[in-house]
Amino acid sequence: MKRKDNSQNNSRRTFLKGITFTLGSSIIGFPLLSCNADRPADTTDQEMPAGTDGSQNRKLGIALVGLGGYSTNQLAPALQETKNCYLAGIVTGTPSKAEAWKAKYNIPDKNIYNYQNFDQIIDNKDIDIVYVVLPNAMHAEYTIRAAKAKKHVICEKPMATSVEDAQRMLEACRENNVHLAIGYRLHYDPFHQRVMELGQNQVFGKVQSIKSHNGFAMGSGSSNSWRVDRERSGGGPLMDMGIYCVQGACYTMGKAPVAVTAKFGEVTRPELFKEVEQSISWQMEFENGVIANCHSSYAQREDLLEGTAEKGWWRLGPAFGYEGKQGQTSQGKMDYPNIFEQVKQMDGQAESFRNGQPSIVPGEMGLRDVKILMAIYESARAGGKRVEIS
């Protein structure tokens, strides 16, 4: 009979306390900077965005930019349960969606915007945070516009489709004295927090290897999806599902890789995958010799994150979906509840914004990951050449 993973209790409490209060480089793999980095300490003469006064304990208003499936099915329902923030406004280019959301969530007309009048949001005191939930290539434009409107920003993953765009996003937030966080919900999930602890605290000794796969079988009716349009997506499954694998390896180790190698998979459906890869495999090499073997695909269902160490192992599977997570270690089952991750994520991000503190998933983390994604593509296009991460 397998023993329950009893080693988790005390060490887990200590680790989570570190996540909550330390927010140090050991959590995310680089020296942590907020989007207010290098700002002067005296901001009394500057125009401060809403919600940065730590004495305010009110809920912060979030405007969702883009009302696709994720906003409709996850974010808006989550915002009905959050304690630190609420659904204050929407931005959509579809009038029928605006009317439906207005009726369903009792959103006032003054808090409903389209993509043409979006910049007027600067005058809206109800909205403190703009959550960018658009196709990848639009992330930079609307993050920058939101920052110029003096709103804090949550941007969905991946942060951008180029390193240059990610850097521009960070600069815009710094210049406008607002915070930028990425929609990395799994940092708030107990199963993945346990993986962070196991890897970074070397609970079972030094990590020896990591395996992470994530993908789904795209339907034949997806030919018009933004996901297979390179201009809008920036790439195929790597930019959509593979970012979870990159994240999983990085937060298992608590650091970024030093190099990657990658190869594109076979294209069996050329009618669908004309512009983006159908699948891709890559290795992430860490400075201590640990290799993370990763794979992402639009042709098959995959969903796992595994790690092996000197004295034990762990596995999440399903690992990355919105619900149904299961975990196992060499000492037994991971006994955690499946939570509404988007509630924890947005509450955590809103709290950090309100208190003038950096998020545990800041824009700098998003930039780090975009650099890794671009290196993976560079390697794959060169037939598997080793590419160092700068």
Catalytic annotation, pick one of 59, 157, 211, 325: 157
Q: Compute CA distances 42 → 38, 354, 358, whole Å.
A: 12, 18, 18
Residue 352 located in a structural domain:
no
The answer to whether 349 and 60 are in contact (CB under 8 A) is no
**What's the pLDDT tens digit per position in 59-89?**
999 999 999 999 999 999 999 999 999 999 9
Catalytic annotation, pick one of 86, 142, 188, 244: 244
The residue out of 185, 205, 238 marking a domain boundary is 185
Q: Compute CA distances 275 → 123, 125, 167, 266, 278, whole Å.
A: 41, 42, 25, 14, 9
State which residues form the domain around 274: 8-14+190-338+360-388
379 shares a domain with 318? yes
For residues 372 and 387, what is the distance between their CA atoms, to the nearest angstrom?
Answer: 10
The residue out of 127, 160, 185 marking a domain boundary is 185
Residue 95 located in a structural domain:
yes
171 shares a domain with 254? no
Please name which of 127, 115, 122, 156 lies closest in space to residue 139, comparing C-alpha atoms. Answer: 156
The residue out of 141, 158, 185 marking a domain boundary is 185
Q: Is the pLDDT of residue 32 over 50?
A: no
Please name which of 374, 385, 369, 377 lies closest in space to residue 255, comparing C-alpha atoms. Answer: 369
Q: Is the pLDDT of residue 12 over 60?
A: no
**What's the pLDDT tens digit per position in 146-187?**
999 999 999 999 999 999 999 999 999 999 999 999 999 999
Q: Is the pLDDT of residue 29 over 80?
A: no
276 shares a domain with 175? no
Element containing residue 341 per DSSP (H, E): helix 341-354
Q: What is the mean pLDDT of residues 236-240?
A: 98
Q: Is 184 noted as a catalytic residue in this protein?
A: no
Greater pLDDT, 56 or 356: 356
Residue 350 located in a structural domain:
no
366 shares a domain with 224? yes
69 shares a domain with 134? yes
Residue 347 located in a structural domain:
no
Prediction pTM value: 0.89
- The runs of H, that is alpha helices, within 22-138 are 25-28, 69-70, 76-78, 95-105
Residue 390's pLDDT is what?
85
Q: Is the pLDDT of residue 349 over 90?
A: yes
Residue 344 located in a structural domain:
no
- The total domain count for the chain is 2
The CATH number of the domain holding residue 333 is 3.30.360.10
Rounded to the nearest angstrom, the gap between the alpha carbon of residue 153 and the centroid of all alpha carbons in its chain is 13
92 shares a domain with 195? no
The CATH number of the domain holding residue 67 is 3.40.50.720
Burial of 125 (0-12, 13-18, 19+ CB in 10 A): exposed
For residues 286 and 121, what is the distance between their CA atoms, to the nearest angstrom?
Answer: 43
Please name which of 127, 252, 140 lies closest in space to residue 199, comparing C-alpha atoms. Answer: 252
37 shares a domain with 174? yes
Residue 353 located in a structural domain:
no
Q: Is the pLDDT of residue 316 over 50?
A: yes
Q: What is the mean pLDDT of residues 114-124?
A: 98
143 shares a domain with 38? yes
**What's the pLDDT tens digit per position in 318-346?**
999 999 999 999 999 999 999 999 999 99
For residues 163 and 16, what is the distance between their CA atoms, to the nearest angstrom?
Answer: 31
Q: What is the mean pLDDT of residues 205-217?
A: 98
289 shares a domain with 328? yes
Q: What is the mean pLDDT of residues 343-360?
A: 97
Per-residue tokens: 327: 């975990």
Residue 307 located in a structural domain:
yes
Residue 268 located in a structural domain:
yes
- Look up residue 361 and give its amino acid: V
Please name which of 218, 277, 261 lies closest in space to residue 384, comparing C-alpha atoms. Answer: 261
CB atoms within 10 A of CB 94: 11
Query: What is the Cα gyration radius of the chain?
Result: 21
303 shares a domain with 228? yes
Residue 124's pLDDT is what?
98
Q: Is 157 noted as a catalytic residue in this protein?
A: yes
